[in-house]
Amino acid sequence: MSVPNDDNRYSDARILVADDQESIIASVVRSVGDAFACNITTVTSGDEALAALEKSVFDIFLTDMMMPGIHGLPLIKRVAEAYPAMHVVVMTGYPADFPYVEVSEKGAKDFINKPFLSAELIAKLIRILDERIMRHQLEVAHTKYRSLFDLSMDGMLLLTLDDMQVEDVNDTMCAQLGSTCKDILGQSFTEMLVESDQERFDLWMGICARTGRGTIGDLKIIRGNDTGIHFDVTVTMVDADGEQFVFLAFRDITEKREVECKLAEAAERDELTGLYNKRSFTNRIEWAVSSAAESDSRLALLMIDLDNFKRCNDTHGHQVGDKLLSSVGEVIKASIRMTAYDEGFRCGGDEFAVLLHRFVDGGPVVVAARMREKFGAIECYGSSMSIGVAEYKAGMDVAALVKSADDALYAAKRQGRDAVCVAE
């Protein structure tokens, strides 16, 4: 991949997506297509993936681990050996069956667990493409190493291979870390990292020691007493007169990472309530139903509607109506587990939804009752809350689950509103 200009940074990227589930492929294509205008090829089996790779050059191979034909670790190993310059990214709903270390040893360079948010996928692809651009730039400048090291705008370190101690550092890195060259030289680089990144760096260096080079995304280095700096790091093994060193090039992505996270989050969120928006709901429920079908896990959908909301708007005005909707967002967030297991959405107007995962018997009804109780405790301007509850059943698709929850919601309204009904 050539280095693109800033106006269309990823337009010449080529991505191959392999998954045997049409809903997953459709979601990935939609998410990536919305994020950047690049070339996307899709296949539904490992054999089709190999055929596509023989015909075209790709920057990223985004693949499921369980598909028809060759798949899993054999596919990863074969692709990584045949196309070492390509970035292989594993996506799987079975992380216990395909541990990060195993897929990395077979040649995968990144890993993402299903289900995942569109923002998570896009952020990872942005980082990967930026890493590839950075690696390309480093390779072009390899013959000018010394001048690049001294004058580069990127931070650079040279480490001894045996103990990862800093042998050399450039002025840019000193400035980024707020330290002098004397303070940095002789330090253990691993100990400069935040504790959560130390093991990841050690594992990746084991892989890079065999391949001679690699890239590590989003390493966080401690800087004085503050929270530290995030870097994308390019690793190159250097043999100089029989001595082996590790050359690290750092690109400070702290500000960029914060901006990307905020932009990705903003695209997924409803500004008024702070809940996920309708677009996120469409993406997430597709992942959720697919995951529930594959793993036989529990999934419930709560459809929520405010009773008499139009009357509230007409009587008290839209400012009060917006205040009430914002309060509903707080009620929902306070009633669910703020983890990957529970997710709240504003689907439009006074319509809301909640997805619940991995719950005990009766859990969805308890959550619904809690929401009604909390809503009743605030100033609701004559409004009340009706909720329809539906649990995923084997064979359901997204439309069937939504209809089941909608039917339960309408049943709650027919009962006089301000009620919870559970789908049969």
* Partners of 248 in the β-ladder: 157, 235
Q: Which tokens belong to 111?
A: 């890993």
With tokens 């191959």, the residue in question is 16
Q: Which tokens belong to 73?
A: 């670790």
Q: Which of 252, 270, 342, 350 is catalytic?
A: 350
d(CA 395, CA 283): 19
> At 27, is the secondary structure helix, strand, or coil?
helix
User: For 285, how many CA atoms within 13 A lie in the half-sphere containing its CB?
Assistant: 27
DSSP state of 193: B
CA-closest candidate to residue 279, choices 112, 114, 35, 91: 35
Residue pair 357/341 in contact (Cβ under 8 Å)? The answer is yes
Residue pair 218/261 in contact (Cβ under 8 Å)? The answer is no
Upstream peptide bond of 115 is cis (omega within 30 degrees of 0): yes
350 is catalytic: yes
Return the number of other C-beta atoms located less than 10 Å from residue 394's C-beta.
7
Instruction: Tell me the CA distances in angstroms from 275 to 217, 322, 336, 337, 401, one per residue in order.
Output: 29, 14, 12, 13, 21
Q: Catalytic site residues? A: 350
